[in-house]
Amino acid sequence: MTLTPLAADAVASLAVTPLTAAESAASTGPLALARTLVTVALLIVGSFFLTIGTVGLLRLPDVYNRLHATSKATTLGAASVFLAGFVHFGPGGTGLTSTIGIVFLFITAPTGAHMISRSAQRMGVPFFGTTAWPDDAED
C-alpha cells in the first residue's frame, strides 16, 4: 500500500531518463559543460578498462594470468566509473560515497585477488607453460 506510489515514482523517473540528465547538465554555465566533458572522458576510460579486463578473463590461458588481467584492469575501470559519479554529483554526500567506493575498491581488489591466487596455488592449479613455483624448481 505504501510501496505502490514509491514504485510508480521510480518507474516514472526511469521513463524520463534522458530529460532529467539533460536538464541537470544544462542547468548552469560553462562549468557544467566542463563537468559533463570530464564525466564523459572518465566514462570512456572506465569502459575501456572494463573491456580490457573481460577480454583478459576470456582470452588468457591460466587462472593466474586471468587474475592479473581482471584485478588491475577491472579495478581501474570501476574506479573510473566511480570517479565519473564523483564529478557528476559534486563533492557533496553522493560524491563522498563515490570516493569511499574508490578507496574500498583499491584496498579490497588486490586483497581478494591475492587470496584467490593463493588458494589456487594451494589447490594445485598448474601454471601455464614451463613456469614453476620457486620451491618446486629447486627439487
Partner 1 sequence: MTAAPAAGLLDAAITGALVLASALTLLCGYRIVRGPTVPDRVVALDTIGTNVVAIGVLVALSTDRSLFVSVALVLTIIGFISTVAVARYVIEGDIIQ
What is the closest distance, in whole angstroms, from the C-beta atom of residue 134 to partner 1 in the complex?
Answer: 20
Structural contact between residues 77 and 49, judged by C-beta atoms closer than 8 angstroms: yes
What is the closest distance, in whole angstroms, from the C-beta atom of residue 70 to partner 1 in the complex?
Answer: 5
Type of residue at 98: S
Closer CB to partner 1, residue 25 or residue 138?
25
Q: Is the dihedral of CA 98, 16, 50, 42 positive or negative?
A: negative
Q: Is 78 left (phi over 0), alpha (psi -120 to 50) or beta?
A: alpha
Closer CB to partner 1, residue 133 or residue 138?
133
Residues that bind partner 1 (CB under 8 A): 13-14, 17-18, 20-22, 24-26, 29-30, 32-33, 36-37, 39-40, 43-44, 46-47, 50-51, 53-54, 57-58, 63, 66-67, 70, 74-75, 77-78, 81-82, 84-85, 88-89, 93-94, 97-98, 100-101, 104-105, 108-109, 111-113, 115-120, 122-123, 125
- Whose cell is 562549468? That residue is 31
Closer CB to partner 1, residue 106 or residue 132?
106
Q: How far, CA to CA in Å, does 41 sit from each of 1, 78, 83, 107?
A: 43, 14, 11, 24
- Whose cell is 567506493? That residue is 101
- SS3 for 1? coil
Closer CB to partner 1, residue 17 or residue 138?
17
